[in-house]
Structure 1
Amino acid sequence: MNILLTGSSGWLGRFLAPRLRMSGHHVVGLDVAPGADTQVIGSVADRAVIDRAFADHAIEAVIHAGGLHKPDIARYPAQAFIDVNVTGTLNLLEAARAAGHDRFVFTSTTSLMISRAIRDEAGDAAVWLDESSGPIEPRNIYGVTKYAAEQLCRLAHLEHGLNVVVLRTGRFFPEDDDTHGDPPGENLKANEFLNRRLTVEDAARA
């Protein structure tokens, strides 16, 4: 199958592309930055780039792993998150529908599911997150745009029958968390592996 993988030069994309090829798929990577698995340089926010990728590579399915994420808040304005995470997702969904696709995978975030009690560490035990966790209360522009993109995926399924899987992953980004200064980055990551962090390899496997 010819799969369009967005974010192919990113942290998750670098691990996804080899796994997809090992499963027998032809991977067409799309990213704003060059990389070993990126054939199309451009932004998902540019519909013309998406349409050319679909036409030139006979795309049959999409794994949308690209986008601006939490650490990017310090580097980009809110409008960039809307352009990439919301408009970019809409562009891909519309192109997939026009091509008659029957599958679309969107990567989102478990940060949408973390309640105030969890954030305040008010409980006395660990909490398992599942589809019933909530309420959904995005904490920042990243969460707002990821949730909006999820709703676009839901509408694509309800209105057009596109089979969409939304995968809410725990954090696996390699950057340090800009909201915590203590403990330092590597120490914090090590502690997070006990509860909220997963390896990028496990994210790609999922």
Structure 2
Amino acid sequence: MKLLITGGAGFIGSAVVRQAIRDGHAVVNVDALTYAACLDNVADAATSPDYTFEHVDIRDRAALDRVFAAHRPDAVMHLAAESHVDRSIDGPGDFVQTNVIGTFNMLEAARAYWTAQGRPEGFRFHHISTDEVFGTLGETGQFTEDTPYAPNSPYSASKAGSDHLVRAWHETYGLPVVMTNCSNNYGPYHFPEKLIPVVILKALAGEPIPVYGKGENVRDWLYVEDHADALLTVVQNGAVGRSYNIGGENEARNIDIVQTICAILDRKRPKDAAYADQITFVTDRPGHDLRYAIDPERIRTELGWRPSVTLEQGLEKTVDWYLGHEEWWRPLQARAGGRLGTKA
């Protein structure tokens, strides 16, 4: 297939680009190269003759029309988004513009292209979203594809809005869409403002390791390369109009993640004191959802997909990657800056 992948220089998008090229697909990577994007993420894929990069912002409809006309993709995988909850608290406007208006532009550009091509049956618009649109869970239960939407942050609200637009374009215009909502991703090339890279890099620097609240918030952790594999499975085999929840089947409290990383570093990069001594509890994020958990039965039974990496394996692989790639993360730390999301 020829895949038009938006946000392909970001964390999850670049994993999809790399996997797609390895699988033999042609890729058109559309990315605006905002602060969290890095073309080094796709340096290996970029050597392939099947890879093309387009420096385009999804808020620019005319540029999107040009990209579709020039490259004639078989499918769209729409990952481009603002995704950091703390940033959405301080600056919600960027999230509405990119996640809502940008998705609207993508849908309209894709619809115009699909119509001009005679509405080919094989065309797909794959919208990639998050489990955060469902809000928060108590101590029990899991999100299914039928869970009502109840977003609690500007980020998750903007993603919920984009999900609804995609569904509406399918129902109203017949655009052949598939949709996915994933749990928390982690792994190589994770921008150093999210929990796991923050813990690793603060620990290595000998600085306080910040943990929001009491660290009791629970997430289902999905290794990013497993997620990329799942997304490529859905875009090729998912049923039109269908939504699939993608989870790692790895629930853990934030404090447990932090302590596990500290223990891994104690083994791999030992120092005089335990890394866990650097853990510092800080004021919680406003509206911090307590627990997310994914029920992955639909993608497992309909498409035969399951994650291949356990949380223990994934954290080991992730720590190893950051220890071996200082040349990648060091220049990006200044972009991440300090803590955000406290203004509320």
Provide TM-score, normalisation by structure 1.
0.81
CA distance in structure 2 between the partners assigned to 1:130 and 1:151 by the alignment: 16
Q: In structure 1, what is the equivalent of residue 228 of structure 2? A: 204
The counterpart of 1:176, out of the listed 194, 216, 233, is 194
Q: Which has the larger radius of gyration?
A: 2
Q: In structure 1, what is the equivalent of residue 269 of structure 2? A: none
Q: In structure 1, what is the equivalent of residue 28 of structure 2? A: 28
Task: Assess if the C-alpha contact under 8 Å between 2:4 and 2:30 holds in 1.
Answer: yes
In the alignment, residue 24 of structure 2 is paired with which amino acid? G
Task: Assess if the C-alpha contact under 8 Å between 2:7 and 2:79 holds in 1.
Answer: yes
Deviation for aligned residue 1:97 = 1.1
In the alignment, residue 97 of structure 1 is paired with which amino acid? R
Deviation for aligned residue 1:20 = 1.5
Q: Where do 1:23-172 residues align within 5 Å?
A: 23-33=23-33, 35=39, 36=42, 37=46, 39-71=53-85, 73=87, 77-100=91-114, 102-115=123-136, 118=137, 121=138, 123=139, 125=140, 127-133=141-147, 135-172=148-185
Deviation for aligned residue 1:70 = 2.5
Structure 1 residue runs without a partner (length 5+): none
Structure 2 residue runs without a partner (length 5+): 47-51, 199-208, 231-344
CA distance in structure 2 between the partners assigned to 1:89 and 1:76 by the alignment: 22
Deviation for aligned residue 1:76 = 6.5
Three-state SS of the structure 2 residue aligned to 1:88 is: helix
CA distance in structure 1 between the partners assigned to 2:84 and 2:179 by the alignment: 18
CA distance in structure 1 between the partners assigned to 2:60 and 2:86 by the alignment: 19
Deviation for aligned residue 1:24 = 2.7
- Over residues 20-44 of structure 1, what are the superposed CA-to-partner deviations in whole Å (9 max), with x where a residue is unaligned? 2233321000111261356111211
Task: Assess if the C-alpha contact under 8 Å between 2:129 and 2:180 holds in 1.
Answer: yes
- Over residues 45-97 of structure 1, what are the superposed CA-to-partner deviations in whole Å (9 max), with x where a residue is unaligned? 11122112112222232100111003462697222111110111111111111
Task: Assess if the C-alpha contact under 8 Å between 1:53 and 1:59 holds in 2.
Answer: no
Q: Where do 1:12-23 residues align within 5 Å?
A: 12-23=12-23
Three-state SS of the structure 2 residue aligned to 1:40 is: strand
Deviation for aligned residue 1:170 = 0.4
Deviation for aligned residue 1:183 = 7.2
RMSD: 2.7
CA distance in structure 1 between the partners assigned to 2:86 and 2:143 by the alignment: 25
Identity %: 32
Three-state SS of the structure 2 residue aligned to 1:87 is: helix
CA distance in structure 1 between the partners assigned to 2:98 and 2:88 by the alignment: 16
In structure 2, the CA distance between the partners of 1:162 and 1:72, relative to structure 1 (3 Å rule), is farther
In the alignment, residue 169 of structure 1 is paired with which amino acid? C
In the alignment, residue 53 of structure 1 is paired with which amino acid? V
- Over residues 111-137 of structure 1, what are the superposed CA-to-partner deviations in whole Å (9 max), with x where a residue is unaligned? 12243xx2xx4x3x4x2221132x421
